[in-house]
Amino acid sequence: MRTTLTLDPDVAALLKKRVAKGDVSFKQAVNDAMRKGLTAQDMSNKPKKRYVLRPGPPSGGYLVDINDNGALAEMMDREDYPDLYRR
């Protein structure tokens, strides 16, 4: 694809420096730089590894399964029930 491109002076200087080494043409230097930059940008948009929080032991009181009605009733029948969950 043919296009006209206006480069910032610092970018042009970096490209000219690369071409001056003699290993690539200006066209190739521009294509390589753009390809490298666009590929790096695509890589940074990948989803990050998901962090999984694993619960540790309770810091106080008791853990009760709220779906277990028997356990809830037993917990509420305790004399020290209000004190268990007070902080």
82 lies in some domain:
no
For the chain, the domain total comes to 1
39 lies in some domain:
yes
The DSSP-derived string for 33-56 is: HHHHHHHHHHHHTSPPPPP-----
Per-residue confidence (pLDDT) for residue 13, from 0 to 100? 93
Residue showing tokens 């009605």: 69
List pLDDT tens digits, range 6-30.
999 999 999 999 999 988 999 999 9
Nearest to 29 by CA among 19, 41, 39: 19
For the entire predicted model, the pTM comes to 0.47
Cα–Cα distance measured from residue 85 to residue 60, given in angstroms and rounded to the nearest whole number? 8
Task: Domain of residue 27: give its range.
Answer: 9-44
